[in-house]
Amino acid sequence: MYHFDVDRAIEDCCRWIQDWFAENGDGCPAVLGVSGGKDSSVCAALLCRALGTHRVIGVLMPQGEQKDISDSQLLCKHLGITNVTVNVGEAVEAVKRSVSAVTPMTEQAVINLPPRIRMTTVYAVSQSVSGRVANTCNLSEDWVGYSTRWGDSVGDFAPLAQFTVTEVKAIGRALGLPERLVEKPPSDGLCGKTDEDNLGFTYSELDLYLREGIEPAPEKKAIIDRKHKMNLFKLKMMPAFPFDPTK
């Protein structure tokens, strides 16, 4: 039976973060979007452990009014990290108006627009402070493609990319994060549904499948396998035509 050694995982991940920064940004701050969900909360806590609170900057990005912005504020206060708030509402609406003027936007295009603008915002903050952007996606989400390409799927380094949702929660508890943040129902905050509502299966079912090979109900297994196959391209570098000038 699979056993997750949370203390070792934290130690190894923090060492990896330190080594990455030593090679790719010695002394630079780590910058990340803070949504108040488990992933950004756990990622921020790991960064504080690895680099020190003074080297972590959180970017809060409400889209107009955000009813759960207090969760993002709670995390920043709990960790004691520097944070800035950039409201992306006007930018999102401006792009929607401009695109809609030349072509109708699909529902999915509208849903994916805010995370792409948020990532642009995080990079703008990061570059302004000579920082490095932390990707906060986890293995479970990445496995089924539950992220926005060139939105929350990108970053300069990814501390959580090989941890399942179950493991991320365990790390959060071990690091002493408020239970409210660790167990907050995962949601994209855009369409009014939780991640699990949209996916058609629970993360617990997915994690058991990934780590222990325990298959969920056949119809759910089929959804997981199909989503994984369809979204493998998101996990690969952009393909380039292999032109050979010598031929």
CA 19 vs CA 11, 51, 58, 177: distances in Å: 12, 10, 21, 24
Contact 132, 156 (CB under 8 A): yes
Looking at residue 17, its pLDDT comes to 98
Q: Please say whether the beta carbons of 223 and 229 come within 8 A.
A: no
* pTM, two decimal places: 0.93
Domain covering 6-186 in this structure, CATH number: 3.40.50.620
Tens place of pLDDT per residue across the chain (247 aa): 889 999 999 999 999 999 999 999 999 999 999 999 999 999 999 999 999 999 999 999 999 988 889 999 999 999 999 999 999 999 999 999 999 999 999 999 999 999 999 999 999 999 999 999 999 999 999 999 999 999 999 999 999 999 999 999 999 999 999 999 999 876 655 556 677 888 999 999 999 999 999 999 999 999 999 999 999 998 888 999 999 999 9
Q: What is the per-residue pLDDT for 188?
A: 55
Task: Give the Cα separation of 112 and 124 in Å (integer).
Answer: 19
Domain extent listing, the chain: 6-186
